[in-house]
Amino acid sequence: MSINLQGIINLGEREEYIRELTMNRPLATVPFAGRYRLIDFMLSNMVNSGIDSISLIVKNKFHSLNDHIGPGKDWDLDRKTGGLRMLYPDLEPDSNLISIGDIPIVRSNLAHFASLKKDHILLTRSNYIGNIDFRPAYEEHVKKGNDITVLTRRIRQGRMRIDLLGMDIIQKRNGTYSIGRNLGNQNNFDLSIEMFLMKKSVFLRIVHETIEEGVEPYLKKAIISRLSDYKVDTYTVDVDILPIHSIQQYYNASLTILDPIYAQYLFYKNGKIYTKVKDAPSTLYATGSEVNNSLIANGCVIEGTVENSIIFRDVHIGRGAVVRNSIVFQDTQISSRANMNYCIIDKFVHIGSGKVLMGDGGLPYVISKGASIR
């Protein structure tokens, strides 16, 4: 059943720490888990929570996003009422520059936000991986009459967690909440996972005020700076969520899903994860192939050895090739006797026979899209 909640996914994400994988695509469409793109998880979570109207705030690299999402059919979002809407920035006719920040995109689409039929919005990012039911948070948000509910994850013994450095943390002092940056000094804290439930009226007011002031170019910062003006509360999400801001987080998150218990949660808990259909046949394992602790998508032909790895659709791994601790994107060819460890290989790459590529667990070696190593 649908709920009185509009999904807004803000794709104005920072990409500088995951640059190699976002050369040709926004962070939202970075491939993940063998057959998905990052945004599939947030879209599916929303749809599985009963949200039937979703707006995407789109910054750049539209092609990859359009190609993947289209009219939203694969998420059941090709609807006459609601459904999926992409919000593009206006390009100035005499300039090809895209303005800084995401507020200009919001400004270009003010009429869309004003016309939304729902009374509440859920503002999120595309780069948090999880299988989240938003309904309990939404129900509490409505029941408490909050203007803004900040979704959080409770972290214990977080001082040692290098992966959480630089992420948003939320704290309450003298009755008001504030959101800052984790510098690793605190041991127990609440992480803000950049998901906000808001009254639509409050969202619109913040947006209008920010545009009128003309100073703050970022939506998230605009909201954070006004928390003290509103009735704010937090809601602790109790499922595991993997943030993906950097190559290292991306790599670690990918290997996390090789744990069958985690995979069971991520792919099934509150509903399935939907993605664009590719119609690839099943994967063929030749005699002499050896595959262990790996996640393999359809359409592959595996003749070599694969260990602790994730292989996307339509990959060919030749005889005698060895792929360890690596992630191989779709349509890539690993020729016979090639050997790789700790690598992330993008789409349409050709690795010639006998080639050796080694990264490190702390710094995986990334081969960019379309490269040919012969």
Partner 1 sequence: MIHSKVVAMILAGGQGSRLKNLTRKTAKPAVHFGGKYRIIDFTLSNCANSGIHSVGILTQYQPLALNTHIGTGVPWDLDRKGGGVEILPPYMSTEGGRWYAGTANAIFENIDYIDLHQPEYVLILSGDHIYKMDYRKMVAFHQKTKADVTVSVIEVPWEEASRFGILNTKDDDVIYEFDEKPANPKNNLASMGIYVFNWKLLRRYLREDHKNKESTHDFGSDIIPEILRQGHRMMAYRFSGYWRDVGTVDSYWEAHMDLLDPNNELRLYDDEWKIFTKNLDVPPHYISDAGHVENSLLNEGCEVYGTVKNSILSTSSVVEEGAVVTDSILLPYARVGKGAVLKKTIVLSHHKVQEDEVLGDGETITLAGAYDMGIL
* Residues near partner 1, by CB under 8 A: 33-35, 73-74, 258, 260, 263, 267, 272-275, 277, 279, 281-299, 301, 310-311
Residue 229 contacts by C-beta under 8 Å, 6 or more apart in sequence? none
Report the candidate in 46, 104, 111, 49 with the shortest Cα–Cα distance to residue 72: 46
Least distance (Å) from partner 1 to the CB of residue 75? 10
**Runs of H (alpha helix) within 96-194:** 103-108, 110-114, 135-143
Least distance (Å) from partner 1 to the CB of residue 82? 20
Please state the separation of Cα 256 from the chain's center in Å: 15
* 99 vs 289, beta carbon nearer partner 1: 289
* 81 vs 282, beta carbon nearer partner 1: 282
* 308 vs 353, beta carbon nearer partner 1: 308
* 288 vs 361, beta carbon nearer partner 1: 288
Which token pair is 149?
């509910």
Q: What Cα–Cα distance (Å) separates residue 16 from each residue in 26, 35, 262, 362?
A: 11, 24, 28, 18
Least distance (Å) from partner 1 to the CB of residue 345? 16
* 83 vs 104, beta carbon nearer partner 1: 83
* 18 vs 273, beta carbon nearer partner 1: 273
Least distance (Å) from partner 1 to the CB of residue 286? 7
Least distance (Å) from partner 1 to the CB of residue 272? 4
Which token pair is 246?
């950097």
Report the candidate in 75, 127, 66, 68 with the shortest Cα–Cα distance to residue 272: 75
Least distance (Å) from partner 1 to the CB of residue 92? 39
Phi (first) and psi of residue 195, to 5 degrees? -125, 125
User: d(Cα 352, Cα 356) in Å, to the nearest integer?
Assistant: 9
Q: Report DSSP state, residue 50.
A: T
User: d(Cα 277, Cα 256) in Å, to the nearest integer?
Assistant: 24
Q: What Cα–Cα distance (Å) separates residue 274 from each residue in 39, 45, 60, 73, 300?
A: 10, 9, 23, 10, 20
* 142 vs 291, beta carbon nearer partner 1: 291
Least distance (Å) from partner 1 to the CB of residue 302? 9
Cα angle at 268 between 272 and 64, to 5 degrees? 40
